Structure 1
Amino acid sequence: MSTYRNLLRATDCPADATANRIRTIDAAPCAPGGAVHSDTLTWDPDASAEAAARQIQSALQPVPQLSCPLGELTPERREVVTSWLRQWQRLRPVLLDGEMVPDRPDELYPLVRAHAGDARVIVTHAEPPVPLDLMRTPGPIR
Structure 2
Amino acid sequence: MADINHVVLVGRLTRDAELKYTQGGSPVCKFSLAINRRRKNGEEWGEEAHYFDIVLWGKQGEALNQYLIKGKQVAIEGELRQNRWEQDGQSRSKVEIVANNIQLLGSGSGNGQQAKSGIQGSYQRSNAPSAYQARQNIPQQQDDGYDPDFDNANFDTIPF
Structure richer in strand, relative to its length: 2
| Common fold by TM > 0.5 | no
Larger of the two Rg values belongs to structure: 2
Normalised by the size of structure 2, how large is the TM-score?
0.26
Greater relative contact order (Cα < 8 A, sep 6+): 2
Structure richer in helix, relative to its length: 1
